[in-house]
Amino acid sequence: MYLYKELNIDEYINKKDSFCVIDVRSESEFEEDHILGAINIPILNDEERIIVGTVYKEKGVKAAKILARNLTMPNMLVKLNKIYSIIESSKKIPLIYCARGGDRSGVIATFLAMENTYVFRLTGGYKAYRGYVLNYFNKIFDKKIKVFYGLTGTGKTELLLELKKNNLPVIDLEGLANNRGSVFGHIGLGKQPSQKRFDTMLFDALSIIDEKYIIVEGESKKIGRLYIPEQFYDKMTFGDSYLIECSLESRIKRIIDEYGGYLTENKDELIRSIEVLKAHIGNEKIGELIGKFNSGYLNEVVEYLLIYYYDILYEKNRKAKKKYMFNYNTDNVVECSKIIETDLK
């Protein structure tokens, strides 16, 4: 009898560099989230999976399994050859997983074992991995968090990227979320990842940092439509706080430099975002701002939104007056980063 070996999630995490990971779930399952570095070779594609699921509901397990086998077998050799190619190029041990460690991964692992391939299957599949990620935030993550706060346009993200370039342990939450964390934060960036994918990418980023602390930008609990994991956010709330400041002129220039191209190329999207603010600054002012934007007075639009929307919102959302470890000026981000590096040593 040809057998593959089972590998539990803790064993995988401890030896993950030894494996080439093959995800045999459908394309949409893989897109929603997957193990870092996994390669998707679906045993059933999205359409086939839906058909099998319908048969399962209407006719039961046996009929669904027969249909799945009939759909899978004609292309099995093609799928196996793709997997053999991955194994050969990676020079690593194959680890196969599906949603819960069931038939999909079992079939592929069995075929590989029949060809005398040394192969593992992940016990519990993606569900076990997802459970590990959630447990990491609940119980395992224990690093100190240093949080940099500041008004919109003070260059927090720019500063953190400069610090990261100099090998400080920075986590770019907005980069992971693909959103700049404001009403206009989505413009020009495309869609955000799923919540599960965001959690996994954050876990992946944290797991490779050896330092006892990490640096993040102060955020609300929600970035676009994604939520920062609750336990991680709680640690941010009680982490060491640092304040970033700069002149209003620098803030306006920075926003126009960062957003300018996106704003002019995505006018309709920007106007829709401005209209969302009607409840905060009134219909009349919204119309005036849109008129100024269409006439090219971007500086005036940005200045008004900073003073009369973002700054007010920032102060309102601060739950209490924070006590900051240090205050920094980011009119010159490079010089500011050098000072911070010295302070954090």
Q: What is the CATH number of the domain that holds 229?
A: 3.40.50
What are the C-alpha distances in Å from 92 to residues 9, 14, 79, 119?
Answer: 18, 15, 18, 10
98 shares its domain with 208: no
221 shares its domain with 317: yes
Burial of 274 (0-12, 13-18, 19+ CB in 10 A): buried
Lookup result for tokens 């934007």:
293
Lookup result for tokens 């206009």:
184
Q: Which amino acids are annotated catalytic?
A: 98
Residue 163 neighbours by CB under 8 Å, 6+ apart:
170, 215, 337, 340, 341
Q: Measured between alpha carbons, how far is 274 from 189 in angstroms, rounded to an integer?
A: 17
DSSP states of 235-304 as a string? HHHTSEEEEEE--HHHHHHHHHHHHHHHHHHTHHHHHHHHHTTHHHH-HHHHHHHHHHHHTT-HHHHHHH
Lookup result for tokens 């992971």:
176
164 shares its domain with 283: yes
The tally of domains found in the chain comes to 2
Backbone angles phi, psi at 273, to 5 degrees: -70, -40
Give which of 139, 130, 57, 74 is closest to 97, Cα–Cα. Answer: 130
Residue 69 neighbours by CB under 8 Å, 6+ apart:
none
CA 19 distance to own-chain centroid: 23
129 shares its domain with 159: no
Q: Which two tokens stand for residue 331?
A: 């009119």
Give which of 110, 112, 63 is closest to 87, Cα–Cα. Answer: 112
| The last residue of a domain, from among 107, 133, 159 | 133
Q: Which two tokens stand for residue 281?
A: 């600054």
Q: Measured between alpha carbons, how far is 209 from 119 in angstroms, rounded to an integer?
A: 30
Q: Per-residue pLDDT for the chain (345 aa), expressed as one digit of tens each?
A: 567 999 999 999 999 999 999 999 999 999 999 999 999 999 999 999 999 999 999 999 999 999 989 999 989 999 999 999 999 999 999 999 999 999 999 999 999 999 999 999 999 999 999 999 999 999 889 999 999 999 989 999 999 999 999 999 999 999 999 987 665 555 556 789 999 999 999 999 999 999 999 999 998 899 989 999 999 999 999 999 999 999 999 999 988 887 766 666 667 777 777 777 777 788 888 888 888 888 878 889 889 889 988 888 888 776 556 789 999 999 999 999 999 999 987
Global pTM value: 0.88
| The last residue of a domain, from among 133, 156, 185 | 133
Domain of 17, in residue numbers: 5-133
179, 185 contact by CB (below 8 A) = yes
309 shares its domain with 166: yes
Backbone angles phi, psi at 229, to 5 degrees: -50, 135
Lookup result for tokens 């205050």:
327
| The last residue of a domain, from among 109, 133, 157 | 133
274, 286 contact by CB (below 8 A) = yes
